[in-house]
Amino acid sequence: MRFDHDTLAQRVRFGSGAAAANLAAEVASLGVSRLMVIAAEAERELAARVAAGLPVAHWHHEVAMHVPVGVARRAREQAATHRVDALVSVGGGSTTGLAKAVALTTGLPIVAVPTTYAGSEATNVWGLTENARKTTGVDPRVLPRTIVYDAALMLTLPVELSVASGLNALAHCVDSLWAPRTDPINQALAGEGIRALHTGLPAVATDPGDLDGREHALYGAYLAAVAFASAGSGLHHKICHVLGGMFDLPHAQTHAVVLPHVLAFNAPAAPDARRRIATAFDAESATKGLAQLRTRLHAPKALRDYGMTESGIGPAAEAIVAAAPPGNPTPVTLDNITELLHQAWEGAEPR
């Protein structure tokens, strides 16, 4: 056994019902006095409640999927205008992504308060979209200093979005098992992440108010993101980045649709990964375990349901082949990626 593993330096405060207290404690420990709180309009009231009593210099509510360059520019301008010295993000992956875009050019520290299972808060990966193309990169400045996890904040997250967001987290786990920098440590994290999500998501789907289910899902999503941050972007994420940037598809639902097709594509050539996934699902095989979970969750099935046109499959396949990571278990060709996209677009069973 021989490998190099990087562990990202980050504090995690995990406690249901403790978001406001834990956020206040973090702000005090940073010694900052002019916060910029980033929250989408849908989280405006929640952010006001969580950040009540803190020294907020600016409340910023312009948030968009895939962080368009123009949205990032305006957020950076507001940070400069209000002379903020720290960022607080309250929301899902798009909100965290915007905070990262500001931190990328300013170096401002981020305290992230997630309200979905996106996992962006635990990675040093940033993404920006311009002219229908999403660009991603890695930079230590964008890694939030602290994550404040509170499963109680997710009790009102609709089941449909909880499922899509949770399957996005599951995709982090699966992709981490064959990504370019995969190693035994992040493989172990990914396996435990799959197990926790497999426990939590059905509980949430059955009873959205099940706090124990929410906590399991949130714990699994964090492990998934830590594994992904170490292992890097595998084929699944390259596909979803292309599709999201090119067609402005919803992030979580795109991951949820694409995941079973990538698993079926790679599993035959990745025996160790497929055994680990099957074990985590307590299933006969990796693909059957995922299929059974998706059935229980009534998971999203087809890209065409979210606005992708069939005519976009060809251009997307070409872009994915160009971006595919080296060393993917199954060799990537234009033909097999085109077939994969057709299946995902139609909502067909993975082959």
CATH of the domain at 120: 3.40.50.1970
d(CA 239, CA 320) in angstroms, rounded, equals 6
**190 plus 120 within the same structural domain:** no
Amino acid, res. 167? L
What residues make up the domain containing 331? 159-346
Residues 236, 140, single domain; the answer is no
The two three-digit tokens of residue 64, written as one number: 């968009």
Domain count, the chain: 2
Same domain, 166 and 272: yes
Helix 334-346 and helix 313-323, axial crossing angle in degrees, nearest 10: 130
Residues 146 and 210 grouped into a single domain? no
Residues 96 and 179 in one domain: no
Which among 98, 125, 154 is the end of a domain?
Answer: 154
* Same-domain pairing of 61 and 148: yes
Question: Quick one: CA torsion of 182, 186, 192, 193, rounded to 10 degrees?
Answer: -80
Q: What is the pLDDT of residues 256-280, one digit of tens each?
A: 999 999 999 999 999 999 999 999 9
For the whole model, what pTM was predicted? 0.93
DSSP string computed for 80-94: HHTT-SEEEEEESHH
Tens place of pLDDT per residue across the chain (351 aa): 899 998 899 999 999 999 999 999 999 999 999 999 999 999 999 999 999 999 999 999 999 999 999 999 999 999 999 999 999 999 999 999 999 999 999 999 999 999 999 999 999 999 999 998 889 899 999 999 999 999 999 999 999 999 999 999 999 999 999 999 999 999 999 999 999 999 999 999 999 999 999 999 999 999 999 999 999 999 999 999 999 989 999 989 999 999 999 999 999 999 999 999 999 999 999 999 999 999 999 999 999 999 999 999 999 999 999 999 999 999 999 999 999 999 999 999 998
User: In angstroms, what CA-CA distances link 149 with 53, 103, 110, 113?
Assistant: 19, 20, 14, 6
- Taking only the tens place, the pLDDT of each residue in 38-62 is 999 999 999 999 999 999 999 999 9
Element (H or E) spanning 176, and its range? helix 159-176
Is residue 214 a contact partner of residue 154, using CB atoms and an 8 Å limit? yes
d(CA 23, CA 48) in angstroms, rounded, equals 12
Q: Are 164 and 309 members of one domain?
A: yes
For residues 133 and 186, state if they share a domain.
no
CA distance 143 to 94: 15
